[in-house]
């Protein structure tokens, strides 16, 4: 009788797990279909309004001058033996000084850290990397090449190639996700962790599943699962949607005087108009659902989390929830009026808060600026 009850219990557990997995993927693909329908309507409307320009876009052949600004640092390349991939990075500051490594988000590249490269090169060896699939780094074609474990290993290999065994790690958006994961798996290699507008991956997963409002804000995650169509939608009308991410009233850089210049915008268009550039960036999203939830969560490094109050993509409540997974000092600064593009939106405040964290130790309270 006990054996029968045990088998029944195991069958019930297994069935419940299968139902949950089926529900999980049904939600993903159902929402993906809904987002696709909305995107098709937008495309059709664009064709009606702008029939002659909808499908016009071009590759920028020449980089704008700002990408070769020597005050930002020196352009360097490294080929990692483990993966065989070549990475591009911009470095400044004296060799031998502590390493500060910057990881960008989507849709960005090393240039998004221009204000920080200038600021911190006085006391650090500052390095802003083009992550795999971005900028002048190699763009693996397969979606499988953008698994979390590969992305984390890239950071480890780059740190070691640069001649360091530890670094001050700074990440924003997708770069923030990779920074969290790197700190989880290689705590001995992270002196301090600084993350901008990106929650701990487990916080994001738990929160999004319980809050429809965040699920709605994350609808692009589902849309980006499609092959090729998202690339088309980001490209039409000469990359209008891509421009809008940085310039629109709802999602763009919010602080007057810090809006992207026309040359800054051309830098982004130069990077993402290159063949395969959008696909490489979008492949990060095409692996995310199979990579969560995490098997490890604890962060042992001191953490500074900076959060723009006007983030159009991520709800602020997730910021405080990150505290649960941090086994060291945790400092959270919520910056009033700042957008998702925090380090470009309000670089002076961001840089000051980072200096405070680096120089004066870590606080335990939440601060509002």
Closest CA to 102 of 82, 81, 73: 73
Per-residue pLDDT at 21 exceeds 60: no
| pLDDT at residue 33 tops 50 | yes
- Output the CA–CA distances (angstroms, integers) from residue 225 to 28, 196, 283, 297, 309, in the order listed: 9, 25, 8, 25, 28
First to last CA, the chain: 65
| 112 vs 7, more confident | 112
Of the two residues 23 and 171, the one the predictor is more confident about is 171
pLDDT digits (tens, 9 = 90+) for 143-174: 999 999 999 999 999 999 999 999 999 999 99
- pLDDT tens for 37-83 read 777 777 777 778 777 677 777 899 999 999 999 999 999 999 998 88
Question: pLDDT higher for 81 or 281?
Answer: 281
- Does the pLDDT of residue 29 top 70, yes or no? no
Contact assessment for residue 104 and residue 110, using Cβ atoms and an 8 Å cutoff:
yes
Model confidence at 366: pLDDT above 50: no
Q: What is the pTM of this model?
A: 0.88
Region 339-343: mean pLDDT is: 95
What pLDDT was estimated at residue 43?
A: 73
For the annotated catalytic residues, the residue numbers are 173, 285, 340
Residues 6+ apart with CB under 8 A from 149: none
Percent of the chain with pLDDT strictly greater than 70: 86
pLDDT tens sequence across 174-202: 999 999 999 999 999 999 999 999 999 99
Give the per-residue pLDDT at 362.
Answer: 42
Q: pLDDT, tens digit, for every residue of 210-262? A: 898 998 898 888 889 989 999 999 999 999 999 999 998 889 886 665 678 99
């Amino acid at each position: 009788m006990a054996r029968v009850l045990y088998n029944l219990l195991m069958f019930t557990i297994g069935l419940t797990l299968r139902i949950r997995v089926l529900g999980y993927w049904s939600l993903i693909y159902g929402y993906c279909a809904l987002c696709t329908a909305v995107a098709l309507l937008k495309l059709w409307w664009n064709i009606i309004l702008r029939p002659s320009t909808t499908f016009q876009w071009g590759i920028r052949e020449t980089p704008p001058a700002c990408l070769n600004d020597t005050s930002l640092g020196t352009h360097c390349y490294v080929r990692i033996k483990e993966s065989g991939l070549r990475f591009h990075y911009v470095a400044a500051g004296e060799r031998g000084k502590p390493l500060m490594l910057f990881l960008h988000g989507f849709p960005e590249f090393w240039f998004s850290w221009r204000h920080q490269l200038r600021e911190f090169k006085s006391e650090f060896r500052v390095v802003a990397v083009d992550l795999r699939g971005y900028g002048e780094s190699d763009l693996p074609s397969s979606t499988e090449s953008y698994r979390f474990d590969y992305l984390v290993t890239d950071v480890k290999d780059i740190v070691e190639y640069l001649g360091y065994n530890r670094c001050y790690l700074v990440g924003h958006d997708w770069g923030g996700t990779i920074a969290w994961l790197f700190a989880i798996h290689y705590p001995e290699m992270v002196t301090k962790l600084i993350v901008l507008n990106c929650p701990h991956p487990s916080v994001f997963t738990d929160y999004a599943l319980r809050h429809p409002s965040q699920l709605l804000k994350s609808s692009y995650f589902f849309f980006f699962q499609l092959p090729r169509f998202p690339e088309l939608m980001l490209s039409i009308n000469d990359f209008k949607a891509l421009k809008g991410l940085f310039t629109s009233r709802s999602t763009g850089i919010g602080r007057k005087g810090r809006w992207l210049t026309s040359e800054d915008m051309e830098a982004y268009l130069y990077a993402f108009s290159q063949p395969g550039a959008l696909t490489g960036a979008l492949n990060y999203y095409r692996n995310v659902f199979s990579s969560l939830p995490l098997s490890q969560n604890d962060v042992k490094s001191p953490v500074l989390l900076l959060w723009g109050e006007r983030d159009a993509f991520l709800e602020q409540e997730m910021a405080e929830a990150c505290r649960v997974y941090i086994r060291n000092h945790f400092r959270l600064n919520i910056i009033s009026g700042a957008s998702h593009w925090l380090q470009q939106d309000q670089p002076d405040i961001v840089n000051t808060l980072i200096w405070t964290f680096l120089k004066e130790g870590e606080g335990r309270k939440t601060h509002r600026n």
